[in-house]
Chains A and B, each alone.
Chain A
Amino acid sequence: SQQGEEDPQALSIQEGENATMNCSYKTSINNLQWYRQNSGRGLVHLILIRSNEREKHSGRLRVTLDTSKKSSSLLITASRAADTASYFCATDPSSGSARQLTFGSGTQLTVLP
């Protein structure tokens, strides 16, 4: 079963606007990652934030993490039509060494030109 829930499930905005997606998770984490997926393709890593970090930036992306609320948000600024894709948060557990990401349900972002 999925650990995370993402909100909203779908988001439609105009080019140039900002897009905000939220993610909630259930268990302790080592880090939280955001991935992007174009329709039917593989996932592309966007950004990783560690459990001891609160905010991280990468280009037009800004990620926040609130471990007390077990939530994260991804902000895409000045969106472009090419940003149209599904976005997933994924958590890496705080215990153990094996890799096992637990993915959220995803947000389908549509950026209208």
Chain B
Amino acid sequence: KAGVTQTPRYLIKTRGQQVTLSCSPISGHRSVSWYQQTPGQGLQFLFEYFSETQRNKGNFPGRFSGRQFSNSRSEMNVSTLELGDSALYLCASSRNRDNTGELFFGEGSRLTVL
């Protein structure tokens, strides 16, 4: 069974631009979560989707948005990029509808903002 796939793996943008990151969950998983990882703030929750609905959102500005498609694939978008948005963005999928069971993470998308 294929794991969680994130694309692109690496990207470089300049301040003010926007970026879209993609995540394909494990087949059959309907919950997809996104996390931001930085050296200073560590791993922080961005948002979680289940069956195309955003169920939870972390404490991030409105520049960070996401969506989930009917096939459970998810995208996140960051508009008007700032230097501080440089981070590893991790997507995770889960089989369970509720908050039990482990998350399966992708390898991440490393964003560098210049």
Contacts and interface: CB of A to CB of B under 8 A. Distances in A.
Q: Do these two chains really belong together in a complex? A: yes
Interface size class of B (residues with CB under 8 A): 20 to 34
Interface residues of A, number: 28
Contacts of A31: 99-100
A92 B105 contact: no
A77 interface: no
B21 to A, nearest CB: 14
Contact of A92 (B35, B42, B44, B100): B100
Interface stretch (A20-28, A38-46, A67-75): A38-46
Given A99-B56, A100-B45, A100-B48, A43 B105 contact: yes
A103 B43 contact: yes
A98 B50 contact: yes
A41 B108 contact: yes
A97 B105 contact: no
B106 interface: yes
A98 B56 contact: yes
B103 interface: yes
A2 B42 contact: yes
A64 interface: no
Given A31-B100, A42-B90, A99 B42 contact: no
Interface string B33-77: 101000001111100101000011011000000000000000000
A101 B47 CA distance: 10
A88 to B, nearest CB: 7
27 contacts: A2-B41, A2-B43, A2-B44, A30-B99, A33-B102, A40-B88, A41-B108, A42-B90, A42-B107, A45-B103, A45-B104, A48-B102, A92-B99, A96-B99, A98-B48, A98-B50, A99-B55, A99-B94, A99-B99, A100-B45, A100-B58, A101-B33, A101-B35, A101-B45, A101-B103, A103-B42, A104-B42
Given A42-B108, A92-B99, 8 more contacts: A43-B92, A44-B105, A45-B102, A45-B104, A96-B99, A97-B97, A98-B99, A106-B43
Interface of A: 1-2, 30-31, 33, 35, 40-45, 48, 88, 90, 92-93, 96-106
